[in-house]
Chain A
């Protein structure tokens, strides 16, 4: 038997190289999260991945040499120099990660930097279908960033602002540019920023909910909801039932990649073992 397959200190790494943020997790064989890191992806995916990995490994108390297997996913998955296994899509990894935290039939709603995804997963973890948003950025993290710039409030402030709103402005458009015009219109009319931010949250949720129907249990993932929990509460209110959230919604895709890395490593080890047993 290969040492790595039994050694519980073996680390499995998942890298989710998103268009906006890179997320890296380190897990052990039991799927326990040992370390993690998130950074802006920037223009050098490989460098960002390495910086994230170093942070996550340090947090896990592990070293590069402890990595038994690593899988990269996401937009920049092909650009991580030190990882050759980049065959899993972020959709597959979100489904895998989502089902790991909530092992039942679920719909995963992921609000990402550039795109949104609605993924249906069966009770056994099998993927039943998925939808990605169309070309426009409306409803994505990029939309929120654009609006934060327009309103001159930081992304970090938005959650509390929305929560403090008394009323909510209405944004009717599909389009990021048109929505921006509507926001300007509200500013011109002297609407409080908090009401505008709440309206922005609401419109983002609407854009996502119109992508597909939802099954009974809904899980939300992605950096936008991790930093804006109020958006999750609003979603629950709109759909009329609770929304499931794991501890680190932004890391779900990277977790999925790490779990795939672990599974692939274990099945490869098992196959090697069977072969060598046959050889004997």
Chain B
């Protein structure tokens, strides 16, 4: 109880839960009545295009995260493993495919009446984050007999070039005829422009929300962020997401004005690099709170900020935004980015989560922590774990590492 009270709850969450609930029931209705076509989309796939074309959009990674945070993933990952999907590959993929095989979804408990993820009419990926998403969607494509189409993105990009933007623009354009064939309607460019404008506004508000953590004490933690990002992930390109973030932002600004901290007695400020450990969100959040340490900024939550969306040039700006994503970039770029974040948020220490099944989001593997530490003098810690596969997580080791790291940082103060 004492631990609980050190973390402050965000009031707006109730409203978010309502919005997310409407979203999931909307998807369910689309899938069961056939009133709207359903597209599955990767997290930074062409959601703007799909939405503008009238699709109800489902994000399997979001479902993966739900499987993780409910810890149902531990039941389903082995099912996918046994069918030939290695324990070493993306545990969103294995959790999600395993849950499909078992015909059980966390949506049912959260939203009574929903008995399945919404059946797709088309699967649309972008490999800007990883190759696993393509394999993932290919599985469903075979299983359900629906097309999997997408964008093959360059990786390890230092500066995004015009040539790369041209390439991805053409690939997005090439998706349109297939999608039009599925909906039976032509793409309305004005609607796409409006959708991109809405996505841009959502992204700007989300940026402002995250930047409230620049305040001392921070009104927001990384753990709050992973929950609050729901609308930015699932509803970008809609008015609902914008309306929600205005409410959330107002509450956080109110906290700043009143000097209210997300973690009471904040004495240390931590940056989180990598995926959350979904099944341990609460434990980790509580542990840091008892240590009066705020994990307040992250690459992960910041990955849903897309400064380049531009309604005047919608498709090209989408291509640019999808390419500028942190995960697409070179280590040299990542290093600069992280240094910038450490400075911006006045960070005392950085934690890298080495997620066993996601090399793409584990940026500790090519000497980056050592380089950043040498350049900034800010200590770092690498935590071994995983986003969804709790077989890769040792609670005792995690705790000892975190507590010892906080001790080390406190000694420096």
Contact = CB atoms under 8 A, between A and B. Distances in A.
Interface in A92-139: 92, 115, 126-132, 134-135
Contacts of B185: none
B101 interface: no
A88 B407 contact: yes
Interface residues of A, number: 16
A92 B384 contact: no
Contacts of A88: 407
A127 B397 contact: no
B408 A127 contact: yes
A135 B354 CA distance: 12
A91 B397 contact: no
B143 interface: no
A91 B411 contact: no
Contact of A89 (B373, B379, B407): B407
A88 B411 CA distance: 12
Interface in A129-158: 129-132, 134-135
Nearest to B369: A129
Contacts of B373: 129
Given A126-B411, A130-B408, A90 B384 contact: no
Contacts of B392: 135
Decide if the interface of chain B is mainly helix, strand, loop or mixed.
Answer: helix
A129 B404 contact: no
A125 B396 CA distance: 26
B403 A89 contact: yes
B404 A130 contact: yes
A5 to B, nearest CB: 23
Contacts of B382: 131
B356 to A, nearest CB: 9
Contact of B404 (A75, A92, A126): A92
B384 A91 contact: no
Contacts of A132: 397, 400-401
Nearest to B407: A92
A89 B407 CA distance: 8
A203 B380 CA distance: 28
Nearest to B354: A134
A197 B63 CA distance: 50
B109 interface: no
B331 to A, nearest CB: 19
Nearest to A94: B404
Contacts of B411: 126-127
Contact of A91 (B379, B380, B396, B400): B400
Contacts of A135: 384, 392, 394, 397
Interface in A37-70: none
Contacts of A129: 373, 379-380, 408
Contacts of A92: 404, 407-408
A261 to B, nearest CB: 15
B103 interface: no
B35 interface: no
Interface string B345-382: 00000000000000000000000000001000001101
A132 B412 CA distance: 20
Interface string A79-90: 000000000111
A45 B281 CA distance: 29
**Most chain A CB atoms below 10 A, which of B382, B394, B397, B408:** B408
Contacts of A115: 397
A115 B404 CA distance: 14
A39 B89 CA distance: 42
A89 B400 contact: yes
Contacts of B396: 75
B400 A90 contact: yes
B85 to A, nearest CB: 21
A155 B396 CA distance: 27
A127 B373 CA distance: 14
A92 B394 CA distance: 20
Given A132-B400, A132-B401, A91 B407 contact: yes
A130 B403 CA distance: 12
Contacts of B407: 88-89, 91-92, 127
A180 B397 CA distance: 24
A160 to B, nearest CB: 33
Question: Which of A88, A89, A91 lies at the interface centre, i.e. has the most chain B CB atoms within 10 A of its CB?
Answer: A89
A99 to B, nearest CB: 12
Nearest to B412: A126
Contacts of A131: 382
Contacts of A127: 407-408, 411
A243 to B, nearest CB: 23
A239 to B, nearest CB: 19
A135 to B, nearest CB: 6
B213 to A, nearest CB: 25
A127 B413 CA distance: 12
Nearest to A88: B407
A89 B291 CA distance: 13
Contacts of A91: 400, 404, 407
Interface string B390-410: 001010110011011101100
Contacts of B397: 115, 132, 135
29 contacts: A75-B400, A89-B400, A89-B403, A89-B404, A89-B407, A90-B400, A90-B404, A91-B400, A91-B407, A92-B404, A92-B407, A92-B408, A115-B397, A126-B411, A126-B412, A127-B407, A127-B411, A128-B379, A129-B373, A129-B379, A129-B380, A129-B408, A130-B405, A132-B400, A132-B401, A134-B384, A135-B384, A135-B392, A135-B397
Interface of A: 75, 88-92, 115, 126-132, 134-135
Which 5 pairs show the lowest CB-CB distances between chains A and B? A91-B404, A89-B404, A127-B408, A92-B407, A134-B384
Given A128-B379, A135-B397, 5 more contacts: A92-B407, A128-B408, A134-B384, A135-B392, A135-B394
